């Protein structure tokens, strides 16, 4: 079938849906964890009971993770309304109200998707949407990821149709002019990579999509694959056509079963309608894509290590040169890009490089996708123009810090990135400014920390991760990171000397230069940035044996304030897993510091009106007479 015919069919199908009252439920992994499948079932049962024929469309993730499970109810002559945190119990009310009746249940709604002249807060007017610029997230949460016609109806595959009528060199010029840089972390100019692969001699070439997403705090690639997989496929097919490849692979980490399932389905659909396979869209171009499941190793995300894994070996990075674009998978020229990088391609081809390049900063064009997690009010996923400030992200998009606490730092880019303190909140974020601040874009995962998070412990956490994940090829990475971890553990437990701080810095620099791949070269970033921006905190741990954030276990104690303990209440005694709390009924409760495992359960259950349990640091703050744990 030609593209025109497909488009007609898709538009008719989409219109038929839009003309009816229908329900959209976000059932990506995050929605499911919050109970979306139960809500889906409740809707199905309720509609069945009432004999209503209302289509339910399962969509991906809109990025407002704090509001999951999220339901959109659309009525043709009325507003599309977004309902947050829907539970099965709310379902009959919604069906009564807005599906059968005309009551939009505003008290349950987050907003409408249209501007409302009655002054009801409409979604596009929420600050978050005002500052966002959704290019590759535009369809996420609005289309059915398992229905290729939804994608086509919303502009999908028109770029491929256009590209198939362009010369390869023209496409490369467009990508070059767009200024697109790889979204896998390092920010290598995509156009240059494509040109290398195009020019590399050889009749067999490969395209690989890196969906390994190894940063233990980032999930945008998962969201894209679960919510709009066709755009990634479209980008890959265009890449294949451009460089002259016939085979493509998507390497997905095994921890993402739903993403794998949805991509599988998407590939099958694309094959069925002639967008993958032989004679794509009636051209003479052939392209096939298969899925390769990762086996779980952070280093596999590194381009050359990924190729090793695909060849069935231990995933150890190769020495470059040769680059993958000359000698990649099974020795052939290989183009490897990240999920997001491929997703931008259809947009650039469709709208033209100029429009893309008009967004962003001088050296970083387009938008950036960030996952927002940690101590903010509205965690989730966002897409903003490059150059947006951190302040805007924290306060306007993520809704500020939870509980009104003070912003302390944000960790960007996971184990390869660094901690950025409050004093840098106003820097415009792009590849270069982050590098300058000692961090890097990396995955784009952002974890916000408040005063209750310890900078030293965070560095220790990341080093613990990288030591476990180092493939062991380079000595500096294998043993250097271990030494760094040991030093950090000594600091966290109050056993370090002040000279260790210099040792930590020196060693971190050595690990950086002594490692072959980005894992070892960036592993010290969390250490170096926390030492640079939070040296005081390190000193408190070392010199005063005090953890200012009250996190490091060896330096804190739990204590029950005698003047606040209610005496009659026994909550803490009942829950203490180590039976460390003593005190008869009606008596004061006391924690036996020898037995206390510092799990914090007593603090969690102590009724809010008493707040008798507190954390103390350093240990000598404990009143004398208490045993010091």
Partner 1 sequence: MKQQEEDLSRLSSIFETYGNERKGLIPILLEIQKEFGYLPKEALKKVATFLNLKPIEVWGVATFYNQFRLTPLGKTHIKVCMGTACHLAGGRLVLEALERELHLKVGETSEDGQFSLERVACIGCCMLAPVIVIKDEIYPKMSPFKVEESMLPYRQESESFIEKRRKD
Q: Which residues bind partner 1 (CB under 8 A)?
A: 29-30, 32-34, 65-66, 68, 214-219, 222-223, 254-256, 292-298, 300, 309-315, 330, 371, 373-375, 379-380, 411, 414, 445, 447, 449, 453, 458, 461-462, 465, 471, 575, 577-578, 597, 599-601, 604-605
Which does residue 518 bind out of ligand FMN, ligand FES, partner 1, none, counting CB within 5 to 8 angstroms by kind? ligand FMN
Which C-beta is closer to ligand FMN: that of 212 or that of 450?
Answer: 212
Least distance to ligand FES, CB of residue 216, Å: 6
Angle at the Cα of 249 from the Cα atoms of 245 and 251, rounded to 5 degrees: 150
Structure tokens at 127: 């600050």
The yes or no reply on residue 248 touching ligand FMN (CB under 6 A) is: no
Which C-beta is closer to ligand FES: that of 216 or that of 274?
Answer: 216
Least distance to partner 1, CB of residue 382, Å: 13
Instruction: Look at residues 252, 271, 162 and name the one whose alpha carbon lies nearest to residue 213.
Output: 252
Structure tokens at 554: 């060896």
Which C-beta is closer to ligand FMN: that of 230 or that of 337?
Answer: 337
Which C-beta is closer to partner 1: that of 230 or that of 458?
Answer: 458
Binding to ligand FMN (CB under 6 A) within 178-217 occurs at 182-186, 188, 210, 212-214
Least distance to ligand FES, CB of residue 371, Å: 9
d(CA 319, CA 294): 22
Q: Which helix (H) or strand (E) holds 57?
A: strand 56-59
- CA 382 vs CA 188, 264, 288: distances in Å: 22, 26, 32
Which C-beta is closer to partner 1: that of 199 or that of 314?
Answer: 314
Structure tokens at 216: 């233990």
d(CA 370, CA 350): 24
d(CA 392, CA 85): 25
Least distance to partner 1, CB of residue 470, Å: 12
d(CA 475, CA 463): 15
Total of chain residues touching ligand FMN, rule CB under 6 A: 22
Least distance to partner 1, CB of residue 243, Å: 21
Which single residue brings its beta carbon nearest to ligand FES? 217
Least distance to ligand FES, CB of residue 407, Å: 20
Instruction: Look at residues 171, 178, 165, 236 and name the one whose alpha carbon lies nearest to residue 198.
Output: 171
Stretch that binds ligand FMN, among 299-307, 345-353, 380-388, 555-563 (CB under 6 A): 299-307
Q: CB-based contacts of 358: which residues, under 8 Å, 6+ apart?
A: none
Which C-beta is closer to partner 1: that of 295 or that of 498?
Answer: 295
The yes or no reply on residue 337 touching ligand FMN (CB under 6 A) is: yes
Least distance to partner 1, CB of residue 577, Å: 6
381 in Cβ contact with 419 (< 8 Å): no
Q: Which helix (H) or strand (E) holds 418?
A: strand 418-421
The yes or no reply on residue 421 touching ligand FMN (CB under 6 A) is: no
User: Following DSSP, what letter does each residue of 396-452 receive, concatenated?
Assistant: IIS-SBGGGPPEEEEEESGGGSEEEEGGGTTSBPSHHHHHHTT---TT-EEEEEETT
d(CA 282, CA 245): 18
587 in Cβ contact with 553 (< 8 Å): no
Instruction: Look at residues 153, 173, 150, 148 and name the one whose alpha carbon lies nearest to residue 163.
Output: 173
Which C-beta is closer to ligand FES: that of 35 or that of 216?
Answer: 216
76 in Cβ contact with 21 (< 8 Å): yes
Least distance to ligand FMN, CB of residue 520, Å: 8
Which does residue 592 bind out of partner 1, ligand FES, ligand FMN, none, counting CB within 5 to 8 angstroms by kind? none
Least distance to partner 1, CB of residue 255, Å: 6
Which of 97, 179, 248, 301 contacts ligand FMN by CB under 6 A?
Answer: 301
125 in Cβ contact with 115 (< 8 Å): yes
Least distance to ligand FES, CB of residue 447, Å: 8
User: Following DSSP, what letter does each residue of 230-261 receive, concatenated?
Assistant: HHHHHHHHHHHHHHT--EEEEEE-TT-HHHHH
Which of 58, 139, 315, 338 contacts ligand FMN by CB under 6 A?
Answer: 338
Which does residue 296 bind out of ligand FMN, ligand FES, partner 1, none, counting CB within 5 to 8 angstroms by kind? partner 1
Which C-beta is closer to ligand FMN: that of 233 or that of 299?
Answer: 299
Which C-beta is closer to ligand FMN: that of 139 or that of 338?
Answer: 338
What helix, strand, coil percent values describe the chain, rounded to 5? Answer: 45, 15, 40
Q: Is the dihedral of CA 199, 201, 207, 212 positive or negative?
A: negative
Which of 7, 146, 227, 341 contacts ligand FMN by CB under 6 A?
Answer: 341
Which does residue 396 bind out of partner 1, ligand FMN, ligand FES, none, counting CB within 5 to 8 angstroms by kind? none
Least distance to ligand FES, CB of residue 217, Å: 5
The yes or no reply on residue 461 touching ligand FMN (CB under 6 A) is: no
Which C-beta is closer to partner 1: that of 80 or that of 262?
Answer: 262
Structure tokens at 134: 């959704």
Which C-beta is closer to ligand FES: that of 26 or that of 187?
Answer: 26
ω before 321 within 30° of 0 (cis)? yes
Least distance to ligand FES, CB of residue 373, Å: 7
370 in Cβ contact with 388 (< 8 Å): no
What is the longest distance spanned by two Cα atoms in the chain? 86
Which does residue 520 bind out of ligand FES, partner 1, ligand FMN, none, counting CB within 5 to 8 angstroms by kind? none
Structure tokens at 140: 């996420």
d(CA 532, CA 320): 32
Cross-strand bridge partners of residue 122: 112
Instruction: Look at residues 326, 332, 360 and name the one whose alpha carbon lies nearest to residue 183.
Output: 360
Which C-beta is closer to partner 1: that of 263 or that of 449?
Answer: 449
236 in Cβ contact with 206 (< 8 Å): no
User: Following DSSP, what letter does each residue of 509-551 receive, concatenated?
Assistant: HHHHHT-SSHHHHHTTHHHHHHHHH-HHHHHHHHHS---TTS-
Stretch that binds ligand FMN, among 301-309, 477-485, 506-514, 536-544 (CB under 6 A): 301-309
Which C-beta is closer to partner 1: that of 355 or that of 604?
Answer: 604
Which C-beta is closer to ligand FMN: that of 47 or that of 303?
Answer: 303
Binding to ligand FMN (CB under 6 A) within 535-564 occurs at none
Least distance to ligand FES, CB of residue 452, Å: 17
User: Which residues are near ligand FES by CB under 6 A?
Assistant: 216-217
**3-class secondary-structure state, position 592:** coil
Footprint of ligand FMN (CB under 6 A): 182-186, 188, 210, 212-214, 298-299, 301-303, 336-338, 341, 517-519
């Amino acid at each position: 079938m030609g593209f025109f015919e497909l488009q007609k069919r898709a538009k008719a199908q989409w219109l038929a849906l839009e003309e009816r009252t229908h329900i959209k439920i976000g059932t990506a992994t995050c929605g499911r964890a919050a109970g979306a499948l139960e809500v889906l079932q409740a809707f199905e049962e309720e509609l069945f009971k009432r004999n209503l024929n209302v289509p339910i469309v399962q969509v991906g993730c809109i990025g407002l993770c704090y509001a999951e499970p999220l339901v959109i109810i659309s009525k043709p002559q009325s507003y599309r309304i977004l309902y947050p945190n829907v539970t099965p119990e709310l379902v009959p009310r919604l069906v009564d109200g807005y599906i059968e009746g005309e009551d939009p249940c505003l008290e349950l709604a987050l907003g409408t998707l249209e501007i409302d002249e009655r002054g009801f807060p409409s979604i596009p007017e929420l600050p978050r949407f005002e500052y966002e610029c959704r290019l590759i997230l535009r369809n996420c949460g609005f289309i059915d990821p398992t229905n290729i016609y939804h994608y086509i109806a919303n502009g999908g595959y028109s770029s491929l149709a256009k590209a198939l009528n362009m010369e390869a060199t023209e496409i490369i010029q467009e990508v070059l002019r767009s200024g697109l840089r790889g979204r896998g972390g390092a920010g290598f100019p995509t156009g240059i990579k494509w040109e290398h692969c195009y020019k590399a001699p050889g009749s067999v070439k490969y395209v690989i999509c890196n969906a390994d997403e190894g940063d233990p705090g980032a999930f945008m690639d998962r969201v894209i694959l679960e919510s709009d997989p066709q755009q990634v496929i479209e980008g890959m097919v265009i890449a294949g056509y451009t460089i002259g490849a016939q085979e493509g692979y998507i390497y997905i980490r095994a921890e993402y079963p739903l993403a794998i399932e949805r991509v599988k389905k998407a590939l099958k659909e694309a094959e069925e309608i002639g967008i993958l396979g032989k004679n794509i869209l009636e051209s003479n171009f052939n392209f096939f894509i298969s899925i390769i499941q990762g086996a779980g190793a952070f280093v596999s995300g590194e381009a050359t290590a990924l190729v090793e894994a695909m060849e069935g070996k231990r995933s150890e990075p190769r020495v470059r040169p040769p680059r993958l674009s000359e000698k990649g998978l099974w020795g052939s020229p290989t183009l490897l890009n990240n999920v997001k990088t491929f997703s931008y391609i259809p947009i650039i081809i469709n709208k033209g490089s100029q429009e893309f390049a008009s967004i962003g900063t001088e050296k970083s064009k387009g938008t950036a996708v960030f996952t927002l997690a940690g101590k903010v009010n509205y965690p989730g996923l966002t897409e903003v123009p490059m150059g947006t400030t951190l302040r805007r992200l924290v306060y306007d998009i993520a809704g500020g810090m939870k509980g009104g606490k003070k912003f302390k730092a944000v960790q960007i880019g996971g184990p390869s990135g660094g901690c950025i303190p409050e004093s840098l909140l106003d820097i415009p974020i792009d590849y270069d400014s982050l590098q300058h601040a000692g961090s890097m874009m990396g995955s784009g995962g952002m974890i916000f920390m408040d005063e209750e998070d310890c900078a030293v412990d965070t560095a220790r956490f990341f080093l613990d991760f990288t030591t476990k994940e180092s493939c062991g090829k380079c000595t500096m990475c294998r043993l250097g990171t271990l030494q760094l971890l040991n030093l950090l553990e000594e600091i966290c437990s109050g056993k370090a000397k002040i000279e260790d701080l210099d040792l930590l810095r020196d060693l971190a620099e050595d690990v950086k230069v002594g490692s072959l791949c980005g894992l070892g070269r960036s592993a010290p970033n969390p250490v170096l940035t926390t030492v640079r921006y939070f040296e005081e905190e390190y000193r408190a741990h070392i010199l005063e044996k005090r953890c200012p954030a009250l996190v490091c276990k060896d330096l804190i104690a739990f204590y029950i304030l005698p003047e606040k303990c209610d005496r009659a209440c026994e909550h803490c005694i009942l829950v203490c897993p180590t039976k460390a709390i003593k005190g008869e009924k009606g008596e004061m409760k006391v924690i036996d510091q020898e037995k206390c495992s510092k799990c914090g359960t007593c603090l969690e259950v102590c009724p809010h009106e008493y707040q008798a349990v507190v954390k103390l640091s350093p240990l000598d703050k404990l009143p004398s007479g208490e045993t010091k744990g």
